[in-house]
Structure 1
Amino acid sequence: MPTSLVPQTTDFTLDVLGRYVCNGLDEALASTDTAAHADARPFDLIVLGGGSFGAVLASHLFFNDTSRAHRILVLEAGPFALPEHTQNLPPQLNPGEVWGVPWNSDSPQMWNQRFPGLAFCPGGRSLFWGGWSPYFIDSELAGWPKAVRDDLTAGGYLDTAAEQIGTAQTNDFVYGPLHDALKKRLYDGLRTRPTGTPTALVGNRGTPMTASQPKAQLLRELDAPLAVQSASPRPGFFPFNKFNGIQLLIRAARLAQAEAEQSAVGGSAERDVKKRLMLVDRAKVIRLERQGGRITRVVTNQGTVDVPASGHVFLALGTVESTRLALAALPNQHGLIGRNLMAHLRSNVTIRLPRASLGTALAGIKELAVSALFVKGVHTHTDGSPGHFHLQITASGVGALGTDSEAELFKKIPDIDTLDRFRDLTDEWLVVTLRGIGEMTGDRTSPDPLNRIALDHLGPQGPYDYGQPRALVRLEADDPADPVRRNMALWDALDRATDEVALLLANGGPIQYLGRGGWQDIPPATEARRDILSSTHHESGTLWMGEDPASSVTDIWGRLHESDNLHAVGPSTLPTIGSPNPMLSGVALTRRTADHVVPPPQPSAPEDGFRPLFDGTDRTFNLWRSVGGGTFALVDGAIVSQPGGGELGLLYYTRQNFSDFVLRLQLRTSTVADNSGVFVRFRDPKRRVPDRNDPTRLIPYNNQHWVAVDTGFEIQIDETASPDGQDQHRTGAVYGIPIPVGQAYQRPAPLVPGQWTDYEIEVRGNTYTVRLNGTQTSLFTNTDTWRGRAATADPASGFLGLQAHTGMVAFRNIRIKEL
């Protein structure tokens, strides 16, 4: 069934958002059909997965491509479900329907059968992510390629990623007497810890609390790195609430649509041809087809997408599904794909303290509100290697029966009725939850490591999912192949640190622990505090990056070593996971890959004395305005005329008008029959034109293109010299000026369709000189005092413009030197 052109109505909703953001695959493929549209282009950047990192990648590619040289196709398996993070919505609205587990497990451990799986919808897991995003410290990046480490740290990619997800600034929305009291108590306790312990407890940036930095800086390192931008990034901008990828996709998709509407002539099909980004949902990627080192086709449940010779394909489906596709598509010569599977070790301890134990700091305060604090841990293993973890500490004042310290931090909608209820509370207890997150160590060397992803060729029901084998996942903590038993040793250190910090917060006062039977006086047992390994969405590492193809799966940019055009983004490329949520590292590496594949163009400097009017980017393209019929599009660094509607069109430079100048540009025709021109020294098309015979009478124009025709001069582009074949209508002539009486004209070499030609127009006083490829074609002296006036003689005149007439004539590298 073809995709509906209008929003569809269900029993409850009108699907405006889905229709305005997404396309059907039929629409996407039709937009590449050159038989139906001569200017159709293929999608050369194909992003598989529209979740957390696919959204970051697609939007960054889109905004990097300021010359509009590429088309981006995002294929997402799930339907458009939510336009916003679930924590920004009422807590009862948390759609479990989007979650699914498209893989199997061959592990005897029960948790391998209880993966949360993937969120099948645009935005993916980022719509459900809780928001903690700590920073990396140097030792967590020690096993990474040096070039990548340098880019992430000194190169600023981690800082930029933190800014994008909203953790670059202090979370000043968490404040108040409770927060201040707990932070001071934690700071004082960490400073007085005995030295020489194998586990260091430090701030978010790795600074020991005994360091010589100012106290204020150390206290800031204890603030929670929540992915919520609490201050506006610039005047006039609202701050972000919870970061999520769907907002990036919505913005890029709507900007792509707006560009298309401005650039295309015709209906929805013609606009689709001009769309640089399309998001296709409900498009499950089944397999990739390969010829040699290139991925040549993407096969989905809706149809196939051919990858052009210059195209790139990006695995952004999540670690497990990206690994499945890589295993199925590539030779895996070294057997590395799927090894090094890592997740996070997690423990949770909840304590409560009587409010009286916090002393006079909270005297007179009825409602204790919230606090969110953070401590990073570095444990030294018996072989001297470090292991990393962190503690996420949330605290809230509650009544006698309260047990949830995060309720006020994450789950409130700030309506006035809720605020009124909080004013009436009298908190009796302070409930604190300490959530520990520790890194796993992956195994890259064993031929069949304990933690790995493989293909399930031998499933009990044969091949799965459209005839293809599912991924087969095994994830366990205690790896007997590791003589140090790093995973379990780190988990034990994490739990000891949790208990220590709990006592620091109690400061020698009474403390109770939440156990399975209620509140108790001793810490919970190991099995009662530890989460199953698959309880988070942090699978990573199986397509890790490195410099040597024999010891890594992807290169330092995320391209798989065994492919020329297949890339991976997100946590799958991490060499080591560290303790931070992989959102920060995944976003940083994804943006870095985008910058490598589609670097922002660097326009060449014009000749001495010249300055650019159009340098191939949308920044300078936006300085031009279209009037009349047809339109103009920025395509691959060139302005391309788009005739249509039976009316001629004009694109003119709005920033300035000119008097004497040398104008240089390049032009390209698509066929011999193309017709266009360059207009010079015409009046402002947006203003009425004085009558030639009665200057007090102002003439309005229905088609403002004709203002340029009547009040300026057109330097012609037309190999057929229509309508009559006379040279005064031919390329390189001043249009309509008789030859040889009005202008001296010499025919240039014929324009070659598809080939760029240098065009130069020099205007000095009333003398016009035209040159093609350095050869003079016309010399003309204007004797008409009413048209072709310089800006110095008439402030409303002296404008420059391009014509949309017949065919798709392209212009680029437009620069000027004023004389």
Structure 2
Amino acid sequence: MPTSSIPQNTDFTRDVLGRYVCNGLDEALASSDPGLNPSARPFDVIVVGGGSFGPILAQHLLYVDQARSRRTLVLDAGRLVLTEHVQNLPILGLTVPGPISVDPGVARAEVWGMPWRTDVPRGFPGLAYCLGGRSVYFGGWSPQLLPSETPAVWPAGLLADLNGPLPGGGDGYFRQASEQIGTTTTNDFIFGELHTALRAQLRQGIDANTVTDAIPLAQLPLHLDDVPNAQQDLFKLEAPLAVQAQPPHAGFFPFNKFSSLPLLIESSRAAQFETGGDDTRKRLMVVPDCHVTRLITDGSGPIRRVTAVETNRGVVQVPEEAVVVLALGTIENGRIALVSLPGLPGVERIGANLMAHLRSNLTIRLPRAAIAGLDPGVNELQASALFVKGRHAHTDGLFGHFHLQITAAGLNKPSTDSEAELFKKIPDVDTIAAFRHANDDKIVLTIRGIGEMRPNNPATLVKLAGETDEFGIPRAFVSINPGVEDGILWNAMDTAADQVALIFANGLPYEVLSGSAFQPVAANQPASAVLAFPNRRDGLGTTHHEAGTLAMGDDPDTSVTNANARFHRVPNLYVAGPSLFPTVGSPNPMLTGTALARRLADNLAAPFIAQAGFTSLFDGASLQGWRMSTIRNQPGRDDPGHFVVTNGALVSVPGSDIGLLWHAQPTPPDYLLKLEWRRWQEDANSGVFLRFPDPESRNYDNSAFVAVDFGLEVQIDQLASPDGLPIHKTAAIYGLQGPNNPNALPVNAIGEWNAFEIQVQGQNYAVTLNGVPVTAFTFVPGSDAAHPDRGMPSTNAVPRFIGFQTHTRRVAFRNIQLRPL
């Protein structure tokens, strides 16, 4: 059934938002089908997942694509349910349900489902099947990874980009992500006498080394801007919350609590407005209720390419020059990779680096008198959010990291009227119930500990289960088993929580929430006296912070993806989200995942800038400055093919005879030409033509042969068709000189980019392939008796040109630049 072109009515609403933001898969496929519209072109980037990180990638890609040359398709199994974070809306009663081990087969709390199976005690809450995913529910705590949380297993180039500055002088991606989600600004919605007094008391305790494993404040970075020098250590205790309570610029509304959903809505509408509703030109389309079941690849070899995305609503073909980005949750990303890439070298590492977080909750109730400096006249409901970073030294010389998220409320008993205020002020919606115990002389305070698990635990992994899902695809099976060091860190973290509780109790008796009742604790006694560590700990599947199943690294033998978030052995398959993390650290993955998504978008849309002294011959967006050869008087062989601009590259589309795309600007007499080329099949055939005259100047029926007869060609053909001779192989001066060592050319794998440097000086031709000199040739003018002016330098009287051939299969060219010699 085709998608309705107008908003539909339900029993209660008109679906304006859904129709204005989303498209059906039928509409997306039609927009890319040249059989329906000759101007249609395929999608360049297909994002599998519209939850927490897919929208961040898609939105950033839309805005940084200066050439406006890329089309992005976002596919998600969920529907559009909300428009922003649930805490930015009136109280709807939409909460995160408790963990389960087996999904009941129907959505819980409207959108929650649990697609995998597990032996983890207490199970998982699962996934939020809606656009924006779990980001519309997340607590907002978004600290940045410390350098000690990103050890050498993280690629050095990646860390340099994350921490910044970037090579061009821009902010690093951690800083960019912090600004986007709102953690660089003070928490203007959390302030007041209670917050100020708690913060001062906590700092005094930290400075006195009361918390054994707390990192000294002087050793921590400051995540906030515009803090006076004298207060910087104090403000390091401020909660790094992804909330903007003030607008970033005059005339703008603040984001409030961050989620990825407003970014997706905004960018979808921007794409609609810039095309006037023409779907064939729309650079972003969002297809909800479209469950991706597997990726189809081109075979079972050691290097593969994704050729199609299989969904419950149909198959999306992946053009040769397009890329696919897995942006599902960590576990589902791993499952799709396992289902789609059986037998791929290194497949055993997919899912093997699963990590989660250790989490504990300690809720205490304090007498108001415990908080020194608190004005007794203040009685309005107030909230506070504070943050303590910890690091425990293990006996093997490694560190384990944790942090404490401290939330407090009090000074007035919550009522029906104040419940909405409390709902918006308490960062973690799953802890709100505890704060209903506050009143005018009692303060309720929750200390939530979050600790990292060590990577590469063989007992913690994602694998394929024997059970299949509703689409007949194997489900994931998830095991999480903490190691010895994980248990030691968990104890250290819970000890730190007890020590922080005593700082706030300030030598007075206090109470600890155990079960549904508060238990009294004597002055200066730890909370563990009434609530043992194991009894305050959450299940390992409950944190929503899974990471690492497709971990990045420089070495294909020890990692799944490279520093650019691309599968080592699948050149057109990328990843977004925490499944990329080599280690997890203690922070919520939102900040790092956002940073990596922005970096990936920049890499996919990076505009080419010619080197100093060079002139760029291709703008990455259009065929401006280029002309296609023509054919006449050749019935049945009258199509020279053509070139299309896709994903910042010129891509050849062969016809029924050879063709030539040539640059209409004459070359200098001598020059250095640099470019990159890529093939997708072993039998791909093309070439770079040099020093030929205007193809239309010689009255040829097929003007491409002017370049063949009067110019010279640097060949691209690994099969050396038709006879396998070196003079017909890649980097040869075609028909004249083969490359050195033709059976060991440094050609990159199919799907990878290769670099040519072609020097043309006098009658000397030199070809460098991927940095290796491979061909040198001296042409003798007049040696071609049939074409005595072949290969002559360009002059004003007879200008000469460069061009690319259409021959066999598609070949792409990009980053084309030329420098006179």
2:156 alignment partner in structure 1: 146
Aligned equivalent of 1:452, options 446, 451, 461: 461
Structure 1 counterpart of 2:340, which letter?
A: A
Distance (Å, rounded) in 1 between the aligned partners of 2:201 and 2:700: 79
Query: Does the 8 A contact of 1:669 with 1:752 survive in 2?
Result: no
2:115 alignment partner in structure 1: 102
Aligned equivalent of 1:593, options 600, 604, 622: 600
Query: How many angstroms does 1:348 deviate by?
Result: 0.7
Query: How many angstroms does 1:401 deviate by?
Result: 8.6
Consecutive unaligned residues in structure 1, runs of 5 or more: 262-267, 414-424, 480-484, 617-635, 640-664, 674-730, 732-745, 756-772, 778-812, 814-819
Aligned equivalent of 2:305, options 288, 294, 315: 294
Tell me the TM-score normalised to structure 1 length.
Answer: 0.68
Distance (Å, rounded) in 2 between the aligned partners of 1:322 and 1:496: 35
1:570 alignment partner in structure 2: 577
Query: Does the 8 A contact of 1:91 with 1:412 survive in 2?
Result: no
Aligned equivalent of 2:472, options 447, 467, 474: 467
Consecutive unaligned residues in structure 2, runs of 5 or more: 96-108, 166-171, 427-437, 522-526, 633-663, 665-693, 705-794, 800-814, 816-821
Structure 2 counterpart of 1:506, which letter?
A: A
Structure 1 counterpart of 2:17, which letter?
A: L
Structure 1 counterpart of 2:475, which letter?
A: R
Superposed CA deviations along residues 771-806 of structure 1, whole A, max 9, x for unmatched, are xx98899xxxxxxxxxxxxxxxxxxxxxxxxxxxxx
Distance (Å, rounded) in 2 between the aligned partners of 1:319 and 1:203: 34
Question: What count of residue pairs does the alignment treat as equivalent?
Answer: 603
1:183 alignment partner in structure 2: 199
Superposed CA deviations along residues 481-513 of structure 1, whole A, max 9, x for unmatched, are xxxx11111110010000000111122123211
SS in 1 for 2:339: helix
Aligned equivalent of 1:120, options 123, 129, 145: 129
Q: Is 1:333–2:325 an aligned residue pair?
A: no
Distance (Å, rounded) in 1 between the aligned partners of 2:481 and 2:47: 31
Distance (Å, rounded) in 1 between the aligned partners of 2:394 and 2:334: 31
Q: Is 1:133–2:146 an aligned residue pair?
A: no
Superposed CA deviations along residues 561-581 of structure 1, whole A, max 9, x for unmatched, are 121111111000000000000
Q: How does 1:542-557 map to 2 (within 5 A)?
A: 542-557=549-564
More displaced stretch, 132-141 vs 299-308: 132-141
Name the Cα RMSD after superposition: 3.6
Query: Does the 8 A contact of 1:369 with 1:408 survive in 2?
Result: no
1:764 alignment partner in structure 2: none
Aligned equivalent of 1:393, options 388, 395, 406: 406
Percent identity among equivalent residues? 49
Query: How many angstroms does 1:553 deviate by?
Result: 0.8
SS in 2 for 1:498: helix
- In structure 2, the CA distance between the partners of 1:277 and 1:671, relative to structure 1 (3 Å rule), is farther
Q: Is 1:173–2:189 an aligned residue pair?
A: yes
Distance (Å, rounded) in 1 between the aligned partners of 2:62 and 2:504: 48
2:510 alignment partner in structure 1: 511
2:691 alignment partner in structure 1: none
1:501 alignment partner in structure 2: 500
Distance (Å, rounded) in 2 between the aligned partners of 1:173 and 1:355: 22
Structure 2 counterpart of 1:474, which letter?
A: S
Aligned equivalent of 2:314, options 284, 288, 303: 303
Query: How many angstroms does 1:162 deviate by?
Result: 0.8
1:8 alignment partner in structure 2: 8
Query: How many angstroms does 1:150 deviate by?
Result: 1.4
Query: Does the 8 A contact of 2:7 with 2:14 survive in 1?
Result: yes
1:257 alignment partner in structure 2: 272
Aligned equivalent of 2:334, options 294, 306, 323: 323
Query: Does the 8 A contact of 1:352 with 1:430 survive in 2?
Result: yes
SS in 1 for 2:352: coil
Structure 2 counterpart of 1:222, which letter?
A: L
SS in 2 for 1:533: coil
- In structure 2, the CA distance between the partners of 1:518 and 1:203, relative to structure 1 (3 Å rule), is farther
Query: Does the 8 A contact of 1:21 with 1:253 survive in 2?
Result: yes
More displaced stretch, 153-162 vs 570-579: 153-162
Query: How many angstroms does 1:60 deviate by?
Result: 1.3
Q: How does 1:411-810 map to 2 (within 5 A)?
A: 411=424, 427-443=440-456, 449-456=458-465, 458-459=466-467, 463-477=468-482, 479=483, 485-522=484-521, 523=527, 524-602=531-609, 637-638=621-622, 666=625
SS in 2 for 1:362: coil
Query: Does the 8 A contact of 1:135 with 1:204 survive in 2?
Result: no
- In structure 2, the CA distance between the partners of 1:329 and 1:751, relative to structure 1 (3 Å rule), is farther
Distance (Å, rounded) in 1 between the aligned partners of 2:622 and 2:241: 43
Structure 2 counterpart of 1:345, which letter?
A: L
- In structure 2, the CA distance between the partners of 1:671 and 1:372, relative to structure 1 (3 Å rule), is farther
- In structure 2, the CA distance between the partners of 1:400 and 1:81, relative to structure 1 (3 Å rule), is closer
Query: Does the 8 A contact of 2:363 with 2:444 survive in 1?
Result: yes
Structure 2 counterpart of 1:377, which letter?
A: G
Distance (Å, rounded) in 2 between the aligned partners of 1:672 and 1:369: 79
Distance (Å, rounded) in 1 between the aligned partners of 2:22 and 2:66: 22
1:353 alignment partner in structure 2: 366
Distance (Å, rounded) in 1 between the aligned partners of 2:459 and 2:600: 30
Structure 1 counterpart of 2:159, which letter?
A: R
- In structure 2, the CA distance between the partners of 1:98 and 1:601, relative to structure 1 (3 Å rule), is farther
Distance (Å, rounded) in 2 between the aligned partners of 1:575 and 1:168: 25
Query: Does the 8 A contact of 1:402 with 1:431 survive in 2?
Result: no
1:797 alignment partner in structure 2: none
Query: How many angstroms does 1:6 deviate by?
Result: 0.5
- In structure 2, the CA distance between the partners of 1:385 and 1:4, relative to structure 1 (3 Å rule), is same
- In structure 2, the CA distance between the partners of 1:194 and 1:49, relative to structure 1 (3 Å rule), is closer
Distance (Å, rounded) in 2 between the aligned partners of 1:506 and 1:381: 30
Query: How many angstroms does 1:228 deviate by?
Result: 0.4
Query: Does the 8 A contact of 1:135 with 1:205 survive in 2?
Result: no
Query: How many angstroms does 1:217 deviate by?
Result: 0.3
Query: How many angstroms does 1:360 deviate by?
Result: 4.8
SS in 2 for 1:23: coil
Q: Is 1:372–2:382 an aligned residue pair?
A: no
- In structure 2, the CA distance between the partners of 1:314 and 1:199, relative to structure 1 (3 Å rule), is same
Superposed CA deviations along residues 556-611 of structure 1, whole A, max 9, x for unmatched, are 11111121111111000000000000001111111112222221454899999xxx
Tell me the TM-score normalised to structure 2 length.
Answer: 0.68
Distance (Å, rounded) in 1 between the aligned partners of 2:2 and 2:381: 57
Query: Does the 8 A contact of 1:342 with 1:541 survive in 2?
Result: yes
- In structure 2, the CA distance between the partners of 1:451 and 1:747, relative to structure 1 (3 Å rule), is closer
Query: Does the 8 A contact of 1:203 with 1:374 survive in 2?
Result: no
Structure 2 counterpart of 1:451, which letter?
A: T
- In structure 2, the CA distance between the partners of 1:428 and 1:307, relative to structure 1 (3 Å rule), is same
Structure 1 counterpart of 2:554, which letter?
A: E
In our comparison, the structure showing a higher alpha carbon Rg is: 1
Structure 2 counterpart of 1:468, which letter?
A: I
Query: Does the 8 A contact of 1:81 with 1:122 survive in 2?
Result: yes
- In structure 2, the CA distance between the partners of 1:437 and 1:426, relative to structure 1 (3 Å rule), is closer
Query: How many angstroms does 1:177 deviate by?
Result: 1.4
Distance (Å, rounded) in 1 between the aligned partners of 2:11 and 2:610: 52
Query: Does the 8 A contact of 1:204 with 1:221 survive in 2?
Result: no
1:622 alignment partner in structure 2: none
Structure 1 counterpart of 2:155, which letter?
A: P
- In structure 2, the CA distance between the partners of 1:410 and 1:234, relative to structure 1 (3 Å rule), is same
